[in-house]
Structure 1
Amino acid sequence: MLSLLLRHGWLVLGGVVVLSLPGQAQAQSGAAHRPHARQAVKPPAAPVRAETITVNAQRRDFSYPEAQHVPDADTRLTAARLIERGVVSLRGLERVAPNLTIQSINGTASTNFYLRGVGFNDFTQNNMPSVLSYFDDVPFAFSTMTDGMMFDLAGAEVTPGPVGTRHGQSDTGGEVRLRTNDPTDQWHYGAREDIASYSRSRSEAYVSGPLARGLSFRLAGQTQQGGGWQRDPLNGSHLGDADLWALRGKLKWTPDSHTTLMVSGHFTQDDSEVVNPIPVHRLVGTAPLPVESWQQTQWSMRPEFARLIGRRPGLKPSEHNQFWGADVHFSHDFGPVTFSSISAFETERQGEYTDQDGTALAQADTYRTIDANTFTQEVRLQSSHPHDRLQWTVGAFYQRSRMQQRFFFDYTDYVPQRGYMMATHFGMDQESTSEFGNISYRFDHGVTLWAGLLHEIDDRSISGLQSVIFGGKSQDFHGESTAAAQYAGQAGVSWQAAAHELVYFKISKGFKPGGFTANNTQIQAQLDPFRPETVLTYELGLKSDPIPNRIRLNAAAFYNDYHNQQLVGTVLIPNYGPLSEITNAPKSESWGFEATLDIHPFAHLFVTQNLGWQRGNFQNFPTVNRAATNAYYAQHGVWKAIEDNFAGVDNGQPKLTLNGNAEWRQALGPHYGIDFGPDWLYRDSQAITPGGTGFYRLPPYFLLGAHATFHPASGHWSATVYATNLLNRRYAESGGMATTTYFYLPGAPRFIGGRIACDF
């Protein structure tokens, strides 16, 4: 290579390419060696000064190098990394980010988030989550609305800690932001087909290009089918097949270089079967629990219950969901300032059947319907030149949501305690407004100071709640409402200590409004609103490339000081049993750290390791001790609330989480290459009730995967073989309680698959 560069007049010195062009002298030299060139005697040429062109070449072996100068602890993920790790739903993000837990609620499309141990377990999904999801800067008030949206992605970001002074809403845990691909000014199209074990298939396709001058479009879609790996040992039926399709369209208009208008719309139809629980402990009754393998489960659908809910007999635990929405993005650069507006409307129509006790008995069969919609509007003004010393943003945000939910329960075999079918119905209205601003200034010597403030007013109410026991009595409950007006903010300082080292410190206050517990309501007191939650977070962070393009280390340590942390406690209903209720822990705390290490020790090897560690405890949390209450009932046959204060008790979140991957990238001649390597995930144990031990905790687990991808140098296509849970480990992703049993939701077994992709 060196001789080739020298032969063409190139000199390479320490990453700087110097090109020497001797001008006419070189041209004459070339002519003298052409055999048919006419020779002429000319006077000696005047000395010619060599022209020198300096080309600065930058290697980018790690993604997002510009983010190394941003004082945050965000995890930034490329679309390629998401595809490689099989992240096709929000839950998959916990495999590629530190200190992040995203768990399905009873095996369904609804999810709960925990980031740095900050999270919220909300089965009814009618309250604001602690960690918000954004698609293309549109916040989703109800996480289920994101179902089927994770395709044709451009990338993702996970931001821990309180947010809200630069965009969107305030919350206490952070946010997950996903970006989808925009329309292109040139024609592009592509497709991806993924086929794996248990007849699972995932298909994606897109087309993008210009329609007219300044006008372009993008249309993308996906389908998911099959993949069910659970079986009922009583009849041999299998469970868990996906049945989902989704479409997204975007239209982009740029009438001039300063103005952009983007109109987007999407639709998802999800009729997938869900993962059914495995009972691990019986709370009520003496019937033995079914003894089954990890891939077996039981369920039932009584014809009477099917008629009540208006679904076909023999229905398997499954979804019947529709989601659609549209949004309009507008921005205009006025020179010194840029104005942007984001308007969005989202809807969900959900029908969800779950057999929560995991047995063939009708003791906790549940069917839920949700009709909900949200409208959001955000406007922002911000400085236009990102390299100016002074940067600022001001804006306002508005959200309105409407929801109607109805729960149907079949307790026919739960005798003598119940032995009936019942339904609960309620409506919820919510409205909030907020104003926010953020300012930063870069001083000499690499020091930057910043501060931000948000003020939010939130009003929400629950109404029309009715509980009906079919063949028995009905109860009507009067409505409740709650309002909050709070401030959130942030202040910090960063120092660019060297070209490749940044340190920062910030203090953030997060705010999350209160809400209601609205599941299986039996007494009016269950509708008392829980209070708003606030957290004061201290964070110290480092971003460094000790050896550029060889080693990158980003790390952050944090401390969370909570007031009125919202979490699921227990209330005992006399002659009925314990029920979950969202309540407040007056005082709690958590602390920990996270780190991401990227290593490229030599030409072909790339390694990424994420590490998260956190601890936390309640400093004051009076509640019913569910374990002691259940034990008293088992001994005496009478429900009696055992009151306790969980002061000093661990918050139950996984203390240690690890995930990462290693990849060997090998050229196969000048035209082809192969990338291959393993990936891994470790999660520590997690309590499913405060202070939980024994079966009240999910066991720790370790998963191993691997992949190999063959591709041409052009990158226009690729072929991949992969495996997930390569060791076929038995593990539980989440768990909970369903009237008579405690259950675990089992994780997927080994999947072996292949994927073919093309992009042109």
Structure 2
Amino acid sequence: MAAAGGRVVPHPAHKKHPLPKAESIEVSGIRRAFTHGAAQHLPDADTRLTAERLTERGVVDLRGLERVAPNLTIQSINGTASTNFYLRGIGFNDFTQNNMGPVLAYFDDVPFAYSTMSSGLMFDMADVTVTPGPVGTQHGQSDSGGEIRLRTNDPTDSFHYGASQDIASYARSRSEAYVSGPIADGLSFRLAGQTRHGGGWQTDPLNGDHLGDADEWALRGKLRWQPDSRTTIMLSGHVVQDNSEVVGAVPIHRLIGGAALPTVGWQQSEWSARPEFTRLIGRKDGLKPSEHNWFWGWDLNVRHDFGPVTLTSISAFETEREGEYTDQDATAAAQADTYRTVNANAFTQELRLSNSHPDDRLQWVIGAFYQHTRMNQRFFFDYTDYVPARGYLQATSFGMDQESTSEFGHVSYRLPKHVTIFGGLLHEIDDRSITGLQSEIFGRSVTNFHAESTAAAQFAGQVGVSWQAARNVLLYYKMSKGFKPGGFTANNTQLQAQLAPFRPETVLTYELGLKSDPIPNRLRINAAAFYNDFHNQQILGTVLIPNYGPLSQLTNAPKSESWGFEGTLDIHPFRHLFLTQNLGWQRGNFQDFPTVNRARTNAYYAKTGMWRAINDNFSGVDNGQPKLTLNGQADWRQALSPRYGLEFGPDWSYRGAQALTPGGTGFYRLPPYFLLGAHMTLRPSNEHWQATIYATNILDRHYYTSGGQATTVYMYIPGAPRFIGGRISCGF
């Protein structure tokens, strides 16, 4: 189990089966190893990633994590900084990002209520852990799908500094720097920052305008005070400004109207913002699809060891100020131009009490978590060229208040014969409301909607058993119940009924796992199989507004299920070669899901020119999530001399087809893709610097990362073409 404060508690059977020394091989004095040896004795299916692995694979944002973990999909929303997570197929598409996701992101033990808040913070990283399945009995916020815990580097007791510069195709530039060291006795600091520029690879075929350049900077500061050997107080703060352009969409199919879709090349996208629209939203003429975001926050982590028990307190406040323009119909026509503003704040407080001795037979943690969030959003829509159905400018605004409290506990006990039993319990109360929702059609009408609220009180928990069958083999089985509160759909509201809250989601997960090093230092096999039994799974469905058209609406599938497995294979067959392969496979279907069939409804309109809801029950229909995900890399590590070493090799990733609507086929299904990359790194034995050349998407494959419907068209978001770059870093 993972105890409070991110401390890894060794498996209790270690007293009988002491851990082997860390597997390693020396190449010109450079240590290489299978990492996270102690975690091989923990009953979980977590994917643990070192900072070195993240750098090797070019993972500089959350989306990149899907290239290094199994059964994980992270998709940008319309090419923007906002993201949706899917882990083991659990996730949902929330365009407005005003609801809690089924998979949460943490930075330094702080959960981010809204995923956009975590933008721009993946620099100066220590490690990342991806945890699938229901969580919440050991720390933080409960959730039904899992969590992604990102940990940044802490202050050091001795003086260190370093920097890196990455330059690649399309004038892409990434710069990072840090400085860390002591200030006074027991007091130390760390300051780190990054900037990102360029990299835009799209153009507008109508006028040759450039699109997609990054323009972002971020700073993070940490101050650590250790007044005595038992107490650590860490104060952290960060700020991010993001004025980056977004990736433009490619129209795939005309749903409404007879106008031909624009013919665009692979690296092209059309857009336009009419002067009337830019004046309305208070932006300059010639606005490109882009972000205008500020994020900032602070957290205070206090940890004190009382001897028999350790107390941890984590207080945090996060702020999001977002302005985002997207041309969602991906044409020069003003049929779905959208500008969104978001003002959001989140305060969280966690208290944990745990035993201080990891070798005790009895391991336990109890705690409480509190969260309070507030959000205000306003959407501006330009439908001027969407005639005769609309042909107007529109704005929708609303406020959101949310408050939740939870109490949790987890305990494990070591029995004879290297068997450990464990269990946890969670109780959560969540209240949220949507207020002040107003829809204004400029020059025509203003519609005000009355407030809606929803509340939930649920129990969740976990029970399991693990067996250290041999010194290097662990087997475990666990059952977990996950809970996620309900919420609201708030985008482009036309009827009061659209604000009816969707219900809480619960899932009962069964998991059987294996962790093994059958040939120490040479072969590692980790695998887990799972089955998810959902009740009221939250999913993006469809509602038809009379004389208006179909709109997306978050709703519940009363009964559904999914199952699958994931595994990681690490091989070091001989001195120079290191291989890693992640594999994820999952299937699922709806057992009961009555909703509007969007494909058939759109087809009926195309044939008759009239809107009529074609209702359907998707019982027995596949859930649409990618069935197979693969990613891995091979490294050849070669000594060039006693002082220098060379490392090079390929990396690869594959994601299967994904249905973008329930039961979606044809253009409603995102095609599969395979990507190939490579890198070569030169470094000295003292590790003070390293130089790398790399390439991503070497085969220059044309592929799509996400998609959806925007009024008149169905569109896809294309993935990046081939990038070739170089990176130099140093640290002292």
Q: TM-score band, normalised by the shorter chain?
A: over 0.9
Partners of 1:705 and 1:669 lie apart in 2 by 27
Partners of 2:613 and 2:445 lie apart in 1 by 25
CA deviation map 1:266-301 (0-9, x unaligned): 000000000010000000111100111110000001
Partners of 1:455 and 1:593 lie apart in 2 by 29
Change (3 A) 1:594 1:527: same
SS of 2:417's equivalent? helix
1:104 is aligned, of 71, 76, 94, to 76
Partner residue in 2 for 1:396: 368
1:433 is aligned, of 405, 422, 431, to 405
Deviation for aligned residue 1:59:
3.2
1:326 aligns with 2:290: no
SS of 1:67's equivalent? helix
Partner residue in 1 for 2:474: 502
CA deviation map 1:471-515 (0-9, x unaligned): 111110000000000001000000000000000000000000000
Partners of 1:197 and 1:447 lie apart in 2 by 54
SS of 1:445's equivalent? coil
1:310 aligns with 2:261: no
Aligned ranges 1:535-550 → 2 under 5 Å: 535-550=507-522
SS of 2:165's equivalent? strand
The TM-score with structure 1 as length reference comes to 0.92
2:340 is aligned, of 365, 368, 385, to 368
Deviation for aligned residue 1:57:
6.0
Partners of 1:583 and 1:438 lie apart in 2 by 32
Partner residue in 1 for 2:53: 81
Partner residue in 1 for 2:461: 489
Measured on the aligned residues, the alpha-carbon RMSD in Å equals: 0.6
Partners of 2:420 and 2:93 lie apart in 1 by 38
Partner residue in 2 for 1:451: 423
CA deviation map 1:691-743 (0-9, x unaligned): 00000000000000000000101111000000000000000000000000000
Partner residue in 1 for 2:574: 602
2:717 is aligned, of 745, 748, 753, to 745
Aligned ranges 1:655-670 → 2 under 5 Å: 655-670=627-642
Partner residue in 1 for 2:625: 653
Partner residue in 2 for 1:188: 160
1:386 aligns with 2:358: yes
CA deviation map 1:163-209 (0-9, x unaligned): 00000111110000000000000000000100000000000000000
SS of 1:397's equivalent? strand
Partners of 1:203 and 1:169 lie apart in 2 by 33
The 8 Å contact of residues 290 and 325 in structure 2, kept in 1 or not, is answered as: yes
Partners of 1:101 and 1:89 lie apart in 2 by 13
Aligned ranges 1:670-689 → 2 under 5 Å: 670-689=642-661
SS of 2:483's equivalent? strand
1:59 aligns with 2:31: no
Q: Which segments of structure 1 move beyond 2 Å, counting only runs of 4 or more?
A: 56-61
Partners of 2:203 and 2:618 lie apart in 1 by 40
1:201 aligns with 2:173: yes
CA deviation map 1:55-106 (0-9, x unaligned): x965332000000000000000000000111111100000000000000000
Partners of 2:372 and 2:47 lie apart in 1 by 30
Aligned ranges 1:93-242 → 2 under 5 Å: 93-242=65-214
State the structure with more CA Rg. 1
Aligned ranges 1:545-560 → 2 under 5 Å: 545-560=517-532
The 8 Å contact of residues 22 and 37 in structure 2, kept in 1 or not, is answered as: no
1:465 is aligned, of 433, 437, 450, to 437
Deviation for aligned residue 1:120:
1.5
1:285 aligns with 2:257: yes
Partners of 1:303 and 1:474 lie apart in 2 by 23
Partners of 1:125 and 1:748 lie apart in 2 by 24
SS of 2:410's equivalent? strand
Partner residue in 2 for 1:272: 244
1:355 aligns with 2:319: no
2:557 is aligned, of 585, 604, 615, to 585
Residue 578 of structure 1 aligns to which amino acid in structure 2?
Answer: P
- Give the gaps of 5 or more residues in structure 1: 1-55
CA deviation map 1:535-556 (0-9, x unaligned): 0000000000010010000000
Partner residue in 2 for 1:23: none
SS of 2:573's equivalent? coil
Partners of 1:386 and 1:327 lie apart in 2 by 27
SS of 1:119's equivalent? coil
Asked which structure has the greater RCO (Cα within 8 Å, sep 6+), the reply is 2
CA deviation map 1:377-419 (0-9, x unaligned): 0000001011111000000000000000000000000000000
1:477 aligns with 2:449: yes
Residue 691 of structure 1 aligns to which amino acid in structure 2?
Answer: G
Residue 557 of structure 1 aligns to which amino acid in structure 2?
Answer: A
1:344 is aligned, of 316, 324, 339, to 316
Partners of 1:274 and 1:662 lie apart in 2 by 32
Partners of 1:552 and 1:572 lie apart in 2 by 52
Residue 731 of structure 2 aligns to which amino acid in structure 1?
Answer: D
Deviation for aligned residue 1:445:
1.3
CA deviation map 1:200-219 (0-9, x unaligned): 00000000000000000000
Aligned ranges 1:716-755 → 2 under 5 Å: 716-755=688-727
Residue 671 of structure 2 aligns to which amino acid in structure 1?
Answer: P
Partners of 2:510 and 2:63 lie apart in 1 by 27
SS of 1:275's equivalent? coil
Partners of 1:68 and 1:674 lie apart in 2 by 29
Partners of 1:595 and 1:740 lie apart in 2 by 42
SS of 2:461's equivalent? strand
Residue 639 of structure 2 aligns to which amino acid in structure 1?
Answer: A
Moved more, 383-392 or 243-252: 383-392
1:575 aligns with 2:547: yes
> Between the two proteins, what is the percent identity of the paired residues?
76
CA deviation map 1:447-490 (0-9, x unaligned): 00000000000000000000000011111000000000000100
SS of 2:686's equivalent? coil
Deviation for aligned residue 1:444:
1.5
Deviation for aligned residue 1:424:
0.1
1:247 aligns with 2:247: no
2:678 is aligned, of 706, 719, 730, to 706
Partners of 2:77 and 2:472 lie apart in 1 by 42
Partners of 1:375 and 1:202 lie apart in 2 by 31
SS of 1:210's equivalent? strand
Partner residue in 1 for 2:10: none
Partners of 1:639 and 1:58 lie apart in 2 by 65
Residue 690 of structure 1 aligns to which amino acid in structure 2?
Answer: P
The 8 Å contact of residues 624 and 660 in structure 2, kept in 1 or not, is answered as: yes
Partners of 1:414 and 1:387 lie apart in 2 by 68
Partner residue in 2 for 1:20: none
Residue 522 of structure 2 aligns to which amino acid in structure 1?
Answer: R
1:258 is aligned, of 230, 237, 245, to 230
